[in-house]
């Protein structure tokens, strides 16, 4: 009975975690604009005029890329105002909006908001002294001994298109500083915690982290020095939920000498939440996400002859209605590109994040569209993958939408299903063993790839190109017994792999 009760408790805990992940995803689609006046105001601002929502957005300080993105939405004014209210306190956002509407000559819209506020029993001051501006989307939280490294980080982030808020000792202390920090965190999309060994013991850093959590902002932890993880102290339970980026040189442990590939990894994580401002990007970081050596797309012509197309650096491929969405953690990008290329050669339309980086919206929005339109999800599982908040969100959304999920095991996990929030998603899934036997082995060109194709053929039967048919025929030439003997993996987990059981459609 004790074992049964423990199992039930564990199951309830996993259900609760899974539900929280889905609720967090749903929260992304909620409107922050007050319902009492939002629809009427947007109806007026959407009408084309010299002082419509576009001028309002420019005065607020939003980039041309963001304005172009909102212009393609069904309700651009609501998209703009939702962004404004999401990054400010409700009263400050309302006051700032009223003041800006007055300045651009939209007293008709201003009257609607003033009346709605008055009807609700509140009052907008006639004299609004507050400064109206869009705050930087990145907030850099750090402990003072890391200031030189964080200044270098700030400079590089801004060259990559991301304005940053950073306390550099120019605002004084006391209440004024705390008020500025509060506004900076609330106005940011992402808070980057630059953690040295002294960071967890800093009261100010701890306050910033707790305010970040309470306001629902996203956190990206950077290890600026070698240290235990999660850190000891009050921040330990919070940071244990996050996958950090190692941001120091292992040879010298010098926080000012972070590896360039780690900076690119950081850009990839930031891009999940916010798009860069193209007007800020320097040549050094233009198209940083494009895999130069592997930026190849294969398309199948009617005459069944493959043609190799090189995509120009400034033209990433955008697949809005994919058949396959590939979910993975950044460390395995090289392997995933190989998998992407091979599947695309066979005629499958695949969604991959590195080809979705352009545009003014966040990558989160594009991932949502990719998952909703995909016919199946390939989940590339590693220990880091199961700990990644972004990957967990992708799986939670895929599971909530009842999308078929095919797990590929790229690294050994402690158990199957892997412990944590993804356990519910993978509990009844049979994985394909894509682990390397040695470092030279390529994951997606072994016989396990054949097993993946069998499942894809069941889930996406319309892909019947000559190349895929020839591939499957070649795969089936050896005897079935020989093939199963050759592909049987060596593993320590308890769940069967696809090669140990029947090939099945994973629903």
The b-or-e profile of 220-232 (16+ CB within 10 A means b, else e) is bbbbbbebeebbe
CA–CA dist 300, 497 (Å, integer): 32
- Range ranked top by mean pLDDT from 26-35, 282-291, 379-388: 379-388
Residue 461: CB atoms within 10 A of its CB come to 8
Q: What pLDDT score does 426 carry?
A: 92
Q: How far lies 292's CA from each of 287, 331, 352, in Å?
A: 10, 17, 15
Average pLDDT score over residue span 66-72: 84
pTM of the model: 0.68
pLDDT at 500 over 50: no
pLDDT over 50 (residue 86): yes
Q: Give CA–CA dist 42/105, Å, rounded.
A: 16
Structure tokens at 319: 């697949």
Domains of the chain with bracketed CATH: 31-119 (1.10.533.10), 138-283 (3.40.50.10140), 292-500 (3.40.50.10140)
Tell me, what's the pLDDT at 428?
Answer: 87
The CA distance from 269 to 360, in Å, is 16
Least confident of 32-36, 201-205, 287-291, 391-395: 287-291
Residue 437 DSSP class: S
Tell me the pLDDT tens digit for each residue of 145-194.
999 999 999 999 999 999 999 987 544 456 677 888 888 998 898 999 99
Q: Are strands 306-310 and 296-300 parallel, antiparallel or unpaired?
A: antiparallel
Q: Round to whole Å and give the CA distance between 23 and 427.
A: 21
Model confidence at 489: pLDDT above 60: no
Between 224 and 300, whose confidence is greater?
Answer: 224
Can you read off the two tokens belonging to residue 415? Answer: 């158990």
Write the CB contacts of 129 (distance below 8 Å, at least 6 apart in sequence): none
CB 200 within 8 A of CB 206: yes
Tell me what pLDDT residue 369 has.
84
pLDDT given for residue 414 in this prediction: 83
Using one digit for the tens of pLDDT, what is the confidence trace for 12-60?
A: 665 555 555 544 444 444 568 998 999 999 999 999 999 999 999 999 9
Residues of the chain with pLDDT > 70, as a percent, come to 72
Q: Which residues contact 444 (CB under 8 A, 6 or more apart)?
A: 335, 338, 339, 342, 434
Residues 6+ apart with CB under 8 A from 107: 101
Q: What is the pLDDT of residue 422?
A: 87
> What would the mean pLDDT of 197-221 be, rounded to a whole number?
92
pLDDT in tens, 319-371: 557 899 999 988 788 888 888 888 888 888 898 887 776 656 677 778 888 89
Burial category of 446 from C-beta neighbours within 10 Å (exposed 0-12, middle 13-18, buried 19 and up): middle
pLDDT of amino acid 298: 40
User: Residue 169's pLDDT is what?
Assistant: 59
Grade residue 297 by pLDDT with cuts at 50, 70 and 90.
very low
Chain centre distance of CA 189:
12
Partners of 296 in the β-ladder: 310
Conformation bin of residue 20: beta by default, left when phi > 0, alpha when psi is -120 to 50: alpha
Residue 364 is predicted with a pLDDT of: 78
For 398, other C-beta atoms within 10 Å of its C-beta total 21
What does the pLDDT read at residue 251? Answer: 73
Comparison of pLDDT for 253 and 452, the residue scoring more: 452
Residue 260 predicted with pLDDT over 90: no
Residues recorded for the chain: 507
pLDDT tens per residue, range 395-436: 999 999 999 999 999 998 888 988 888 888 998 899 999 887
Q: Among all chains, which residue has been given the structure tokens 């069941």? A: 458
Mean pLDDT of the chain: 78
Residue 233 C-beta-side C-alpha neighbours within 13 Å: 13
> Which range scores top for mean pLDDT: 53-57, 390-394, 440-444, 445-449?
53-57
What value, to the nearest 5°, has the Cα angle with vertex 273 and ends 204 and 387?
A: 75
């Amino acid at each position: 009975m004790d074992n049964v009760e423990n199992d039930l408790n564990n199951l309830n805990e996993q259900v609760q975690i899974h539900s929280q992940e889905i609720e967090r995803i749903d929260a992304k689609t909620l409107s922050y604009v007050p319902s009492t006046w939002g629809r009427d105001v947007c109806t007026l601002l959407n009408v084309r005029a010299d002082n419509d929502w576009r001028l309002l957005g420019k005065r607020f300080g939003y980039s041309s890329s963001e304005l172009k993105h909102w212009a393609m939405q069904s309700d651009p004014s609501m998209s703009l105002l939702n962004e404004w209210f999401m990054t400010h306190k409700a009263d400050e956002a309302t006051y700032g909006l009223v003041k800006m509407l007055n300045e651009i000559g939209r007293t008709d819209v201003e009257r609607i908001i003033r009346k709605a506020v008055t009807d609700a029993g509140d009052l907008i001051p006639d004299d609004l002294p507050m400064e109206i501006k869009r705050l930087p989307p990145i907030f850099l939280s750090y402990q003072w001994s890391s200031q030189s490294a964080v200044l270098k980080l700030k400079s590089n982030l801004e060259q990559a298109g991301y304005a940053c808020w950073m306390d550099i000792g120019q605002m004084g202390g006391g209440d004024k500083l705390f008020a500025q920090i509060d506004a900076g965190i609330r106005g940011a999309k992402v808070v980057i915690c630059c953690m040295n060994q002294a960071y967890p013991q800093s009261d100010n850093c701890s306050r910033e982290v707790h305010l970040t959590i309470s306001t629902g902002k996203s956190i990206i932890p950077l290890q600026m020095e070698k240290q235990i993880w999660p850190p000891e102290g009050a921040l330990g339970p919070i940071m244990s939920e996050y996958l950090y980026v190692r941001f120091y040189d292992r040879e010298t442990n010098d926080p000012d000498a972070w590896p360039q590939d780690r900076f690119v990894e950081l850009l990839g994580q930031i891009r999940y939440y916010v798009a860069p401002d193209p007007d800020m990007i320097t040549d050094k970081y233009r198209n940083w996400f494009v895999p130069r050596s592997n930026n190849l797309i294969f398309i199948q012509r009617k005459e069944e002859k493959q043609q190799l197309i090189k995509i120009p650096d400034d033209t990433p491929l955008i697949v809005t209605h994919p058949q396959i969405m590939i979910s993975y953690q950044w460390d395995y990008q090289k392997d995933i590109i190989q998998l992407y290329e091979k599947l695309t050669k066979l005629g499958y339309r695949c969604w991959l994040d590195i080809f979705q980086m352009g545009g003014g919206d966040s990558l989160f929005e594009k991932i949502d569209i990719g998952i909703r339109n995909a016919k199946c999800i390939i989940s590339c599982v590693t220990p880091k993958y199961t700990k990644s908040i972004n990957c967990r969100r992708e799986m939670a959304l895929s599971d909530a939408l009842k999308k078929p999920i095919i797990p590929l095991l790229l690294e050994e996990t402690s158990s199957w299903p892997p412990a944590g929030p993804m356990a519910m998603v993978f509990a009844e899934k049979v994985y394909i063993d894509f682990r390397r036997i040695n470092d030279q082995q390529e994951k997606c060109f072994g016989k396990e790839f054949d097993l993946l194709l069998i499942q894809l053929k069941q889930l996406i039967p319309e892909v019947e190109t000559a190349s895929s048919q020839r591939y499957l025929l070649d795969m089936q030439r050896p005897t079935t017994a020989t093939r199963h003997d050759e592909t049987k993996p060596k593993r320590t987990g308890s769940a069967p792999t696809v090669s140990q059981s029947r090939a099945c459609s994973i629903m």
